[in-house]
Chain A
Amino acid sequence: MKNIKLDHVTKIEGHAKLHVIIDKGKVKKADLQVFEGSRFFEGILKGKRYDDLSPISSRICGVCSVVHAITALESVEKAMGVKVSKQTRKLRQVMNIAGTLQSHTLHLYFMVLPDYFGFSNALKLAAENKELIVRALDLKRFGNRIVRAIGARDVHPFTFVVGGISRSPEQEELDSILQECKKLIPAGKKTMELFAKIKVPDFELKRNYYALTGGNYFCGGDKITCYSNEEISTQKYENHVSEYFQEGSTSEFVMDKKGNSYMVGAMARILIKGNLLSEESRKYQKIIEKNKFNPFYNNLAQAIEIFECLKQIEKILTNFKVKKELPIKFKEKAGNGIGAFEAPRGILFHRYTIDKNGFCTSANITTPTSQSLQNLQENIRNFLPKIVNQSEEKIKLMVEELIRAYDPCISCSTHFLELKLERK
């Protein structure tokens, strides 16, 4: 019996562990265990005042703090019947797109690309390929710049409050951002070209995809559309999905009520609402459609979205005139509100119930990673038999590549990936 202990899976956000047992060449067990000291966010949020819910839930994740902050606000505003201005809505959209740009750039260039170029990390890649890293840094800096211009800080932006924004961004800065955006569009194109050229393992597993529809591509709307053609109102998502905990893991796993897994994120969005994207990325979208059940193509899907982030930011900021606005006035009101946004990794739900004094009496947060985790686990189980005869090192690398293609964000669904491989 061979017992291979593989240390915790790197270059993903957070910590997770995978325990694999291979008995006489057959995969007997492949369980994803995600665990860190739990933070019990839903317990922490209960009893807090309406204006504390966004700043606290932003801290669920340092990578997707932008989208947690605004989804929480949307949920609270729905619960208390607060209607924000058109400008606030647009600024939240731009900041969310910038958050996706930050996240995808970091993931693709710093965590995924070194694998495919045969470097163990981005620093080594940087030393060898200056052009690539300059492009990556330009894109990352640009995403950060937008989040800073609107949210005052590139991680845990804090200017959005219930009812609006604490201060409007500077017109001059937004104009300058638009100019930089135009200059960066070729970098977005090159990103698509690059990831379209990368050869990925040949692997397919039929699956369902979910994305938000009825609104802007990157932010979503009031409906969830499944690849299987079903449509669900976001306000009813809790009736449609079940959350469960797997033995040994502190993370939530989500499935639909029939027990089927699904995937959310870049690939889901392109397959479900690619029609909202530009003509220029059409030929790359077709590659995704052709390989619709191969999760390794999620990387290319993210690359397409980097380009599309730039296009959408350009579109929204063209002729955007900032009005100096204050958050609107409102009174605390009892209610239940569900906020849903497309986060970089897929649909994020926040649901809060607020009492008449403005305190939260119950909270439920469903993150994209917890939704895709079950599907990832099934894919690992189906992928392993294909590579079971490879060397241990190769198995580790390929499984990690598969995990990274899902871009799991473990803080979101909690923390830790250690890969333990046992061969009997």
Chain B
Amino acid sequence: MQKKPSLGFFSFTGCSGCEFTVLFIDGILDILDKFNIEYFHLLKEKNREAQYDLAFVEGAITTKREIEKLKRIRKQSKFLVAMGACATHGGIPIQRNFIEKKELQKYVYNQKMLKDSIDVAPIDKFIKVDHYLYGCPIIKSEFIEFIEAYLKGKKKEQFKGPVCMECPRRGKDCFLNQGIECLGSITQGGCKALCTSQNVPCTMCRGPLESANFPVEIKLLESFGLSKKEILNKLRYFTDKVKSK
């Protein structure tokens, strides 16, 4: 019998929602059984540091200590996947970077901790990432497709194009035509337009497309009557890529 590939799940600062999404997959135990699980603290005791054929990293990086751990995991891993918005773009925790320093002081109760703290960042600020699973949380089917390809020795292609490409409202009742702020047109697609298909505008949880033109987007949202503050709040939900002018 062929040796099973070794697998690790690592979690930094976030809500663990992506690890839970993985555990919520139907048939997850059969999937995990194809691997030697070396590290998954949510599921097992005796997690050991080892060499990993495949590593999933969840959460944003918020401390110097986390940077060191992340770098160590990278060295130990042959193939590393950023799992979920916190790891790929900083996610909700990155909103912390926009709290004014004076305001932030009110929430700091431990100076030692502050010393260790850095601006919140996605993991690829510090290490090379081999594959991205986008979303807050990740999409189960994308996780499964990735694993299936991996086990066949193939690399799953990243989806190319905006959320609009899969949106059922496209050309019919597009939110933008109704003056409702939807970020689908500048957001990395592949989620089958889950939110817009349920009457909820896209909030860019999968991060912006490389081609996203923020100045144009800001003008568009201004034309909907949104204030500058509202617009920046929208564009900085899951990422800090949008700078104020």
What size tier do the contact residues of chain A reach? 35 or more
Contact present for B66 and A37 (CB under 8 Å): yes
Q: Could you tell me which residues of chain A, from 377 to 424, have a CB within 8 Å of some CB in chain B?
A: 400, 411, 415
B17-A65 in contact (CB<8A): yes
Question: Scoring B residues 74 to 87 as 1 if CB is less than 8 Å from chain A, else 0, what string do you get?
Answer: 00000000000000
Q: Is the CB of A37 within 8 A of B17?
A: no
B243 at the interface (CB under 8 A from A): no
Residues of A within 8 A of B (CB): 7-8, 10-11, 13-15, 35-40, 42-44, 46-49, 52, 55-56, 59-63, 65, 102, 106, 110-111, 120-123, 126, 133, 137, 140-141, 144, 152-156, 158-159, 161, 166-167, 245, 247-250, 400, 411, 415
Which of A8, A46, A62, A152 lies at the interface centre, i.e. has the most chain B CB atoms within 10 A of its CB? A62
- Residues of A within 8 Å of B62, CB to CB, are 36-39
A86 vs chain B, min Cβ distance (A): 21
A245 to B21, CA, bound (A): 31
Point out the residue from B23, B95, B110, B229 that lies within 8 Å of A56, measured CB to CB. B95
Q: Identify the 3 closest CB pairs spanning chains A and B, nearest first.
A: A62-B17, A37-B62, A121-B44
| Chain B residues near A65 (CB-CB < 8 A) | 15, 17
**Consensus secondary structure, chain A interface:** loop
Contact A123 to B21, CB < 8 A, known contacts A48-B233, A158-B198, A250-B113: no
Q: CA–CA, A55 to B201, complex, Å?
A: 12
A40-B99, A49-B230 known; A62 vs B198 contact (CB < 8 Å): no
- Contact between B37 and A11 (Cβ–Cβ < 8 Å)? no
Q: Is the CB of B15 within 8 A of A62?
A: yes
- Residues of B near A144 (CB, < 8 A) are 24
Query: Are B95's CB and A55's CB within 8 A?
Result: no
Which residues of the other chain, B, contact A56 by a CB distance below 8 angstroms? 92, 95, 237
Is B210 positioned at the interface, with any CB of A under 8 Å from its CB? Answer: no
Chain B 115-158: CB-based contact to A (< 8 A → 1; otherwise 0): 00100100000000000000011000000000000000000000
Asked whether, in the complex, the Cβ of A415 is within 8 Å of the Cβ of B198, the reply is no
Whether, in the assembled complex, B245 has its beta carbon less than 8 Å from a beta carbon of chain A, the answer is: no
* In-complex Cβ contact of B21 among A137, A154, A166 (8 A): A154
Is A39's CB under 8 angstroms from B194's CB?
no
| A120, B233: Cβ atoms closer than 8 Å | no
The residues of A that contact B45 with a CB separation of less than 8 Å are 10-11, 120-121, 400
Per the bound structure, the CA–CA distance linking A26 and B209 in Å amounts to 60
Interface string of B206-245 (1 = CB under 8 A from A): 0000000000000000000000011001000100000000
Q: Which of B15, B24, B32, B136 contacts A123 (CB 8 A)?
A: B32
Q: Are B16 and A13 interface neighbours, CB within 8 A? A: yes
Contact status A52-B113, CB under 8 Å: no
For the complex, give the distance between the alpha carbons of A61 and B92 in Å: 11
Of the stretches B101-109, B160-168, B182-190, the one at the interface is B101-109
Q: A56-B95, A250-B110 are in contact. Are A159 and B66 (CB under 8 A)?
A: no
Instruction: List 5 A-B pairs, Cβ < 8 Å.
Output: A15-B11, A36-B13, A62-B18, A62-B137, A247-B110
Q: Which residues of A contact B107 (CB under 8 A)?
A: 38, 40, 42-43
Q: Give Cα distance in the complex from A140 to B22, angstroms.
A: 13
| Number of chain B interface residues as a range | 35 or more
Q: How far is the CA of A415 from the CA of B14 in the complex (A)?
A: 9
Q: A10-B44, A43-B99, A126-B29 are in contact. Are A38 and B15 (CB under 8 A)?
A: no
Q: Which residues from A are CB-within-8-Å of B47? A: 7, 10
Is the pair B20, A63 in contact by a Cβ cutoff of 8 Å? yes
Q: Cβ of A59 and Cβ of B200 under 8 Å apart?
A: no
Q: Mark B26-53, 1 if CB is under 8 A from A, else 0.
A: 1001001100010001111111000000
A120 to chain B, nearest CB (A): 5
Point out the residue from A11, A14, A63, A415 that lies within 8 Å of B43, measured CB to CB.
Answer: A11
| Contact among A11, A49, A126, A137 for B42, CB-based, below 8 A | A11
Name which residue of chain A comes closest to B22, CB basis. A155
Assess A161 versus B200: contact at CB under 8 Å? Given A39-B92, A141-B26, A155-B137. yes
B44→A120 contact, CB < 8 A: yes
B44 touches A166 (CB 8 A): no
**Inter-subunit contact A153/B194 (CB<8 Å):** yes
Assembly CA distance A247 to B194 (angstroms): 43
Please determine whether A62 and B44 come into contact, CB atoms closer than 8 angstroms. Answer: no
Q: Given the complex of chains A and B, what is the CA–CA distance between A380 and B6 in angstroms?
A: 35
Q: A36-B13, A46-B99 are in contact. List 19 more A-B contacts (CB 8 A).
A: A37-B60, A38-B62, A40-B104, A40-B107, A42-B107, A47-B229, A52-B237, A61-B17, A62-B15, A62-B137, A120-B45, A123-B37, A154-B24, A158-B198, A159-B198, A159-B200, A161-B200, A411-B15, A415-B11
Which B residues touch A156, using CB under 8 A? Answer: 17, 136-137
For the complex, give the distance between the alpha carbons of A158 and B135 in Å.
13
Do B92 and A44 have beta carbons less than 8 Å apart? yes
A155-B24, A245-B110 given; A61·B15 CB < 8 A: yes
Residues of A within 8 A of B91 (CB): 59
Residue from A15, A43, A59, A159 with most neighbouring chain B CB atoms (10 Å): A59
- The answer for the CA separation of A56 and B66 in the assembled complex, in Å, is 23
Shortest distance between the CB of B242 and any CB in chain A (Å): 16
Contacts of A10 in B (CB 8 A): 41-42, 44-45, 47
Nearest Cβ distance between residue B79 and chain A, in whole angstroms?
A: 22
> Which A-chain residue is minimally distant from B95 (CB atoms)?
A44
CB distance from A198 to the nearest CB of B (A): 18
Cα separation A44 to B94 with both chains bound (whole Å): 9
Q: Does A123 contact B29, Cβ atoms closer than 8 Å?
A: yes
Shortest CB distance A32–B (Å):
15
**Bound Cα distance A42, B199 (Å):** 28
